[in-house]
A and B are shown apart, each in its own frame.
Chain A
């Protein structure tokens, strides 16, 4: 399988669709990144990632949407903002990760970290219906969804339950208002690149 990038005559590298789209949605001047690596060096989850955060920025610079949106990296990002805080070009790298996540979702790209995305979906389902997070439901949902029903149950879940930290009865925000927040109204831009 060949793995290369081809630039044809007449193309504009800085004008590529992915870069323009990410720039517009995030406000971050990705083209200015000079690939120093400080973001990746300080990223707490870097050792678990396939692409380094720096490489995701590079992928955006070169218009490699597949590479960026199919990476584990964007889902393993914990949004800790260390990268953005230290970037010498003052780029909000964490914001770029956020935008790529949003793009991957709305383009319905199969996420490389299914469990993480399942977690997000279940989290939001819970908030949509109840206005609050139902933690037990979330953990159970992710466990079953990732075919790992007993993950964290005995070594973490059970002790927490015994200490009274887990509500079996979900909380509720008392009105159906929150549900409406989930519905996109008016002319909102959708994420398609």
Chain B
């Protein structure tokens, strides 16, 4: 039985609870145990690295030390948490940087604790490898036939390329293939890695509304029924702002935004209720039930 240390991050305990729920259900089916790191802290997101370089690295470093104690790969399903944690491991390869970070952490040793070498996985790395995809395909009892989706990777899962190692920088396929394995019809679209506006949502929601509208419009334009994503920020920006988009642009999208794990959960036979789909602001349950109904 594979066990991962689990770093949910602030979103999966808050605005992205359904991601957490669906993830746990999917992992249970796949026989992967998740052990939440006790006492984990916020990764610092954009705020930290925009304010204080070392703070932006020390916050994820603390989590790495906590996780390293268990010597298991660390799963970080939130794209931001994953991105910051990987960047930290990358930056501390520079001895001067590492020293500064260790000083912030009251002299902790990032090498000796194993923090610098700990294997850190994103959701796609954990589930979308050829191996895992094949394993997941075996659990599909309700293929997502008839569901047309576009895969939205966002920024943080693919950039910077030298740290994230995506299968392709401009046209990644990992999520696409995983969703195909779940039986969905995955449509090609050109905005796989376009930014949603991220944390500008708080103070400059007009930017997020504009970018969100562009994304939803393109998704609808290529014929998608839904967008699937693996980033809580992208999810939030696209799911919760459709009313604002309508108010600003007069366009009504009603396009459900799913997490990868939610669609996997549906394919595995879990109900929308079990997957907490009702937590979506843009109704996703209607579409989810329709997929179920088309199955005889």
Contacts and interface: CB of A to CB of B under 8 A. Distances in A.
Contacts of A105: 50-52
A127 B44 contact: yes
A64 interface: no
Interface stretch (B98-106, B114-122, B252-260): B98-106
Contact of B15 (A82, A118, A132, A135): A135
Interface stretch (A9-17, A31-39, A53-61, A168-176): A168-176
A182 B55 contact: yes
Contacts of B247: 155
B64 interface: no
A188 B54 contact: yes
Contact of B41 (A102, A116, A121, A178): A178
B211 interface: yes
Contacts of B243: 155-156, 159
B51 A186 contact: no
A103 to B, nearest CB: 11
Contacts of A180: 106
A188 B54 CA distance: 9
Interface string B41-65: 1101111111111110011001000
Contacts of B206: 48
Contacts of B207: 45, 48, 76, 78
A174 B39 contact: yes
A173 B66 CA distance: 12
B46 A79 contact: yes
A151 B41 CA distance: 28
Interface string A98-127: 110110010000000101101111011011
B34 interface: no
A29 interface: no
Contacts of A52: none
B202 A138 contact: yes
26 contacts: A47-B210, A48-B206, A78-B197, A79-B198, A82-B159, A82-B195, A85-B159, A85-B160, A102-B50, A105-B50, A115-B202, A115-B204, A116-B203, A120-B46, A124-B55, A127-B42, A127-B44, A127-B48, A133-B14, A133-B45, A146-B203, A160-B15, A163-B280, A175-B39, A181-B105, A185-B106
Interface of A: 25, 44-45, 47-48, 76, 78-82, 84-85, 92, 98-99, 101-102, 105, 113, 115-116, 118-121, 123-124, 126-127, 131-133, 135, 138-139, 142, 146, 151-152, 155-156, 159-160, 163-167, 171, 173-175, 177-178, 180-186, 188
Given A45-B195, A81-B155, A135-B10, 4 more contacts: A165-B15, A165-B279, A177-B62, A181-B62
